[in-house]
Chains A and B, each alone.
Chain A
Amino acid sequence: MVMTDDPRELVLRHRAGDVVATEALMERALTLALRTAAAVLRDREAARDLAQDVGVEVIRGVGRLRDGSQFDAWVHRITVRLTMRSISRRRVEVCLDTVEEPQAIESLPEAVLADGAAIRAAIARLPERQQVAIVLRYVHGLSSEEASAALGCRAGTVDSLLSRARTALRFDPLLANLAVERGVTR
């Protein structure tokens, strides 16, 4: 039998007992979850662990998924829920005592964007929902509407979360210092 990428068909085949389809669905779910978790947790092992938890929920629930075309959105929702739970446990407070009052950089200059580690660290300092909104948009390329399904909120809220996240990054004191260090003027 020729294997398909269409989740709707894979879900139907899974229900009919097709083990290959189940594995294909699992691989798809774990890949989506792995990308989200790796971007948010910044720890490959923890991401792999979380992706497997998502996989467990997928196996438990996929038989009850009524519309197979919503498989990706459903997996994103599970991933977002587990990821947010995980980051609220892991949240590390960053000491900014030695940093002066933050001033905005007009936008993130290329010299700063090129420092992936600094940007990721700044994203990790954002509130959980803003972090996840950033990942859904910039890792998975989801539209506001698609991201809203994953976050369980309105598309307008996704826009608001992204807007606040981007503004917060522009005001992030460590990124602002980095911009100054690299000779970028405000």
Chain B
Amino acid sequence: MMALEDVFCEERQLVANPDDVAAAMRRYRQRQRRLPGLVYPAAIAAAVAVVLVISTFAGAGSKVDAQAADIFSQAASVTAQQPTLADLKPGQFLYTKATSTSDETTTATSVTFTILVTRTTQTWMRSDYSGRVRSVLDGWAFRTPADRRAWIDAGRPPVPDEPRVASRAFSRAEGRSMVAAPGYATSPAALYTQLHDQATHGPWPMGAEMFVLIKDVLRESADNPALRAAALQVAARAPCAHVLGIARDDTGRQGTIVGCKSTYWGGPLIDEFLFDTKTGALLAERQVRPTSTGPELRWQATPVTQIVYSSRR
């Protein structure tokens, strides 16, 4: 059986030797001596101006779905008023629970099978960003009966290969990186440029990739309402975004689905957000691979990734 990990078997054998350790120690001592001189290049770098280039998601002439744009804009104004960790009282935690399903594909001699792995991650975060995260492997299932047959043909290899429950504390710095997304701009125009630059790398169609990057930003910015609002305003400019209907998430909350379908290169994949129909808040997100044509069948689509958010203080 061959899988992606086999490509890296050489790297897994690499071991640092005493010469590497000695070289690192020498480099450390050299840098200690040079440290005062580093101030000047840093100051020069900080003075470099950034030129923003604004363009549209998919080129001139692309039309934005007004209904989808309204939902994103409403969500942006709701999000901008969101409380932050600083609003927590002593002894209170921000509790977040995310259930995610992702696909994992293995290739054997002549067969390939895909399983869907579901995990629940709970996070308890203090106002100083420190806290604890607990991840539970809820279970896995074959994507289709054909995947199960392929797994049997491959000799029933063990899947998935990871601990069932993992729990650990995280530091302030790590916690901050989980909810503050500090590397992103909070102005919609600057954020647009940042995401656009990221989306140009890689083989994905621009509109769909930007939509996915917006999903990433929203997942990582629970304590940065300004950034969340900016991300939703950027999403409001996405011509690929359309209202796809009303649905309930796994916890029974009703919302409006806004999605972006990647059809440029034969996908098809749909990236979706679920917004609360009453408050406009983001409830869930997922990426699905439709298993059949026809919009009425989209809820039977196979999830590629799916995350349901719920949080309370």
Contacts and interface: CB of A to CB of B under 8 A. Distances in A.
Interface of A: 23, 26-27, 30-31, 33-35, 38-39, 48, 51-56, 59-60, 66-67, 70, 77, 91, 101-104, 106-110, 113-114, 116, 119-120, 125-128, 130, 134-135, 138-139, 141, 143-146, 148-149, 152-157, 159-160, 162-164, 166-168, 171-173
A106 B203 contact: no
A144 B203 CA distance: 24
Contacts of A155: 98, 100, 119, 121, 135
Nearest to A159: B102
Interface stretch (B13-21, B82-90, B250-258): B13-21
A26 B25 contact: yes
A145 B25 contact: no
A135 B287 CA distance: 23
Contacts of B45: none
Nearest to A155: B121
Contact of A156 (B2, B23, B219): B219
Contact of B203 (A125, A134, A145): A125
Most chain B beta-carbon contacts within 10 A, residue among A26, A114, A128, A171: A26
Contact of B112 (A56, A106, A127, A167): A106
Interface string B21-55: 10111011001000000000000000000000000
29 contacts: A26-B25, A27-B18, A30-B16, A30-B20, A30-B21, A38-B11, A38-B14, A59-B25, A60-B28, A66-B171, A70-B168, A77-B174, A103-B265, A108-B4, A108-B107, A110-B107, A114-B2, A126-B201, A138-B5, A139-B8, A139-B11, A153-B219, A155-B121, A156-B98, A159-B100, A160-B102, A160-B216, A160-B305, A171-B265
A52 B20 contact: yes
A171 B215 CA distance: 22
Interface residues of B, number: 65
Interface in B260-313: 265-266, 269, 287, 304-305, 307
Given A55-B28, A113-B3, A156 B307 contact: yes
Contacts of B145: none
A74 B31 CA distance: 21
A160 B212 contact: yes
Contacts of B201: 91, 126-128
A163 to B, nearest CB: 5
Nearest to B101: A159
